Amino acid sequence: QKEVEQDPGPLSVPEGAIVSLNCTYSNSAFQYFMWYRQYSRKGPELLMYTYSSGNKEDGRFTAQVDKSSKYISLFIRDSQPSDSATYLCAMLVGNQFYFGTGTSLTVIP
Amino acid sequence: DTGVSQDPRHKITKRGQNVTFRCDPISEHNRLYWYRQTLGQGPEFLTYFQNEAQLEKSRLLSDRFSAERPKGSFSTLEIQRTEQGDSAMYLCASSLAPGPGANVLTFGAGSRLTVL
């Protein structure tokens, strides 16, 4: 079993839709939870990171962590074509980062 | 500071050749990570440095792979006797430890390796 599981998609939604991206994990020692966005042939860029269970909001993006269920989510409101990318969840324990496989998202104008 | 720089962006080589990638992290960052990413997969940890010390290497890192960070600034990743299975994107990332900056990686654009 992988440390971090993420549905690879692909996910295709119309512009303006609410997008929900999810990851599950098995290691209860994970301390920090991150979401990265990666455009084709580019390096990942950090979108959000959080430490505790609950919600964290930044503009159109909301990150949600449920440590009891070992489940994290990223919600994108009012999705735009420019949101089309691969979204990677990542988790940190100690000095080690563990990444999901990424979910490919396409927002159709 | 323009972020994390990686060079070259794309390298095409023949099987059996050696290749070297360079990473220049954000100047004040003391931690530097190397990852490998293949199509449809997330970044896979290879190794990391704190200053010039290589603190951890993945068990997946074969003897053909070596990384250095001689002065605690830029780093190089060398792959000897390349194999077709080495074809991937090699990502470098840096962070600042200790403190909350250690929890966030800033990635470069990656170096794409194609082994023919």
Query: Residues B12-25: pLDDT tens digits?
Result: 999 999 999 999 99
Give the integer Cα–Cα distance in Å for B110 and B8: 8
Quick one: pLDDT at residue A1? 66
Give the integer Cα–Cα distance in Å for B57 and B52: 14
Q: Which amino acid is at B111?
A: S
Is residue B91 less than 8 Å (CB to CB) from chain A? yes
Q: Which residue of B has its CA nearest to A8?
A: B40
Higher pLDDT, A102 or B1: A102
Measure CA A81 to chain center: 17
Provide DSSP, B29-51: --EEEEEEE-TTS--EEEEEEET
Residues B49, B50, B51, B56, Cα dihedral to 10° = -40
Answer whether residue A11 shows pLDDT above 60. Answer: yes
Is residue B74 less than 8 Å (CB to CB) from chain A? no
Q: Which residues pair with B42 in a beta bridge?
A: none
CB atoms within 10 A of CB A93: 15
Quick one: pLDDT at residue A2? 76
Answer whether residue A81 shows pLDDT above 90. Answer: yes
Q: Which residues pair with B115 in a beta bridge?
A: B13
Is residue A96 less than 8 Å (CB to CB) from chain B? yes
Question: Percent helix, strand and coil across chain A, each rounded to 5?
Answer: 5, 60, 40
Is residue A85 less than 8 Å (CB to CB) from chain B? no
CB atoms within 10 A of CB A71: 13
Structure-token pair, residue A99: 């990444």
pLDDT confidence tier of residue B72, bands split at 50, 70 and 90? confident
CB atoms within 10 A of CB A85: 21
**First-residue to last-residue Cα distance in chain A:** 37
Angle, CA of B6, B12 and B14, to the nearest 5°: 135
Is residue B41 less than 8 Å (CB to CB) from chain A? yes
CB B111 within 8 A of CB B94: no
Structure-token pair, residue A93: 């324990």
Give the integer Cα–Cα distance in Å for B1 and B83: 35
Of B41, B93, B105, the CB nearest to A101: B41
Answer whether residue A91 shows pLDDT above 90. Answer: yes
CB atoms within 10 A of CB A14: 9
How big is the A-B interface in CB pairs under 8 Å?
58
pLDDT (tens digit per residue) in A26-62? 999 998 999 999 999 899 999 999 988 889 999 999 9
| Minimal C-alpha gap between A82 and chain B (Å) | 18
